[in-house]
Amino acid sequence: MRILFVASECFPYVKTGGLADVAASLPPALRALGADVRLLLPGYPGVLDRLRVMRTVRSLPALPGLPDGARARLLGSLGEDDLTVYALDAPAFFAREGNPYQRPDGRDWPDNHLRFAALCRTAALMGLEGDGDGWVPDIIHGHDWQAGLVPAYLRHAGWVFDGKPVPGTVFTIHNLAFQGLFPPDVLRPLGLPSDTFTHEELEYYGKVGFLKAGLVYSDRLTTVSPTYAHEIQGWEMGFGLDGVLRRRANVLSGILNGIDLRHWDPATDPFITQRYDSGQLDRRAANKADLQRAFGLEVRPDALLFGVVSRLTHQKGIDLIVQALPRIMGLGGQVAVLGTGSAELEQALADASADHKGRVGLRLAYDEGLSHRVQAGADVLMVPSRFEPCGLTQMYALRYGTLPLVTPVGGLADTVADVTEAALAHRTATGFVTDAVDLPALLRAVERAAGLYRHGELWRQVQRTAMGRDVGWEASAQAYLGLYTSLQVDSTSMSQ
Ligand code: ADP
Ligand code: GLC
């Protein structure tokens, strides 16, 4: 089975969040099960500079919004894990350093609709005509709003189909909060018919919604955890799309993300001071001291150290962490925050670290290596999100024996088993789950963590259970494969 992944970011080429990790680690997991998965990415500098042995596989016809004579071609290459990666080399759109979606001043690139429509149109073209080297996908699997127009183009671009089979489409929602919304007058330059601007199709409250296109036109929809699949069909977490999602509930499923155990394994991690496994928990002490030094914290082995590795945004509940700091200080704890995000939250954290010198450490940076050191050295990893489609950092934490402290939402609820008396007795507890998403609930969980920390042997028991949890990709890759297969069966029965 041939599957083309379409994503706007992928580790290690370009990454702003968990989507990049998924785009990097799910394809090899699918390949291990026998699927021929390839990946289409925008040709950002970070992609073009890192790919090996690139060759032009096909030139591309006019892409919407591309100036006359501007270069647009599809490059093919072997990427990480010998995965075939296609890059859309269109310098007018993608030869821009830094964040893939935003200008250096933090505002969205004004031509984002053209940039990601070009990606989608290229994917659709590959779906109909192949890559120029004879490879034609059976299924196109798009991720998030940047890939939302793929099925719209397959359906509406007015290409002559010549009886060619149209690939099946799968669309995965990684975050419903980012929808790719643009004014209605973009439809014409994008080459989409104006009669698609209805509530049933592309219109989202007066705007054109790229994510909505993915939701209404794709054959199958998935999101990244079972709980989130359920939550987004309700008003509170549906971001105005709950009606569409309820209508499509029969093709919507939640498949939990996994993590890449080759990059995230404390026994082999090249970034950390002292490697360890679940039988060598004492070795974590060296990593804790390293982390305390890296964040300017007092080097105290006994201080309960809370780590945070996150985008600093409202979604992630960072404001709740700021408000919880006095209580954590009162309990003798320490906090190390690694992240970047909203100016307001960055400032609030900077003020707190100045107020609590040596006890609240802050690194306003995006630093892959340091994120591994936080996971290996902290006692608790805090993720008090207001909503969380899946969340990867709590899974990294489980793997590293850092007990996650999370809210009961989305993938956090699906991956962390709360320390209750019964769960301790059955040795199933893996972390702390708050009983609501607010400050009092967060404080109650913090206190429970401090309480358990005083019982060293119990704490280590929970660490060992956490480290033994299956957080790899295999089961979920099987689930995706089942979904692809069901689509192929459908299309065969339709053509008969
Ligand atoms: P989201 O995609 O919503 O940001 P996830 O938990 O799915 O949340 O994924 C976040 C990814 O980004 C993880 O791999 C995490 O380690 C990484 N990350 C977040 N902030 C930073 C940072 N400041 N430095 C390094 N890695 C970070
Ligand atoms: C999104 C979500 C996050 C999820 C990630 C990968 O960024 O916010 O919860 O883990 O995508 O699916």
- How close is the Cα of 485 to the center of ligand 1, in Å? 31
Handedness of CA 424, 429, 434, 436 (dihedral sign): negative
Task: Name the average pLDDT for the chain.
Answer: 95
What is the DSSP-derived secondary structure letter of residue 232? T
Q: Are 27 and 152 in contact (CB under 8 A)?
A: no
Please indicate whether residue 311, judged by its CB atom, sits closer than 6 Å to ligand 1. Answer: yes
Rounded Cα distance between 123 and 140, Å, is: 8
Give the separation between CA 19 and CA 284, rounded to whole angstroms: 29
Query: Which residue out of 371, 406, 412, 414 has the highest number of ligand 1 atoms within 8 Å of its CB and is therefore the one to mutate?
Result: 371
Cα–Cα distance for residue pair 149/124, rounded to 1 Å: 9
Q: pLDDT confidence of 264, banded at 50, 70, 90?
A: very high
Nearest ligand to the CA atom of 390: 2
Domains of the chain: 2-258+475-485 (3.40.50.2000), 281-470 (3.40.50.2000)
Asked if pLDDT for residue 157 goes beyond 80, the answer is no
**Is the pLDDT score of 164 beyond 80?**
no
Which residue is it, tokens 């933090």? 106
Task: Enumerate long-range contacts of 285-289, CB under 8 Å, 24 or more apart.
Answer: 287/373, 287/376, 287/377, 288/377, 288/378, 288/379, 289/377
**Residue 496: which pLDDT band, with cuts at 50, 70 and 90?**
very low
pLDDT tens digits, 179-209:
999 999 999 999 999 999 999 999 999 999 9
Return the H-helix or E-strand segment holding 74. strand 73-78
Laid out side by side, the sheet with 360-363 consists of 360-363, 334-341, 305-312, 380-383, 403-406, 432-433
Q: Report the nearest-CA residue for atom 22 of ligand 1.
A: 366
Ligand 2 atom with minimal separation from the 388 CA:
9
Helices vs strands, H then E, count in the chain = 19, 18
Q: From atom 26 of ligand 1, which residue's Cα is the shortest distance away?
A: 368
Alpha-carbon distance of 406 to 393, in angstroms, equals: 11
Contact indicator for 155, 125 with CB cutoff of 8 Å: no
C-alpha neighbours within 13 Å on the C-beta side of residue 475: 10
pLDDT for the residue numbered 92: 95
- Determine whether the shortest distance from the Cβ of 151 to ligand 2 is under 6 A: no
Residues 12-32, mean pLDDT to the nearest whole number: 96
Residue nearest to atom 1 of ligand 2 (CA): 174
Give pLDDT tens digits for 448-494. Answer: 999 999 999 999 999 999 999 999 999 999 999 999 999 987 665 55
Which ligand is in closest contact with the Cα of 26?
Answer: 2
Cβ 18 under 6 angstroms from ligand 1 = yes
**What is the helix (H) or strand (E) element at residue 360, kind and residue range?**
strand 360-363
Cα(282) to centroid(ligand 1), Å: 27
Distance, CA of 493 to CA of 95 (rounded, Å) = 44
Query: What ligand is nearest to the CA atom of residue 313?
Result: 1
Residue bearing the CA closest to ligand 2, atom 5: 18
Task: Give distance in angstroms: CA of 124 to centre of ligand 1.
Answer: 30
Spell out a b/e string for 203-235, using b for 16 or more CB atoms within 10 Å of the CB, else e.
Answer: bbeebbbbbbbbbbbbbbbbbbbbbbbebbbee
- The angle at the Cα of 399, spanning 396 to 402, to the nearest 5 degrees, equals 80
Residue (of 427, 380, 437) closest to 407 by Cα position: 437
Report pLDDT for 491: 64
3-state helix, strand, coil in the chain (%, to 5): 40, 20, 40
* Strands lying side by side in the sheet with 52-59: 52-59, 73-78, 84-89, 36-42, 2-6, 139-143, 168-173, 220-223, 252-254
Residue 175, ligand 2, Cβ within 6 A? yes
% of the chain residues with pLDDT over 90 = 89
* Contact yes or no for 395/414 (Cβ under 8 A): no
**Which amino acid residue places its CA nearest to atom 11 of ligand 2?**
174
From the centroid of its chain, how far is CA 356?
32
Q: How far apart are CA 316 and CA 109, in angstroms?
A: 24
Q: How far is the CA of 464 from the centre of ligand 2 (A)?
A: 26
Output the pTM of the full model.
0.96
Which ligand ends up closest to the CA of 375?
A: 1
CB 58 within 8 A of CB 105: no
441 CA distance to ligand 2 middle (Å): 23
Residue 21 alpha carbon to ligand 1 centre in Å: 9
Which is the closest atom of ligand 1 to the Cα of 371? 25
How far does residue 22's CA lie from ligand 2's centre (Å)?
9
Nearest protein CA to atom 3 of ligand 2, as residue: 391
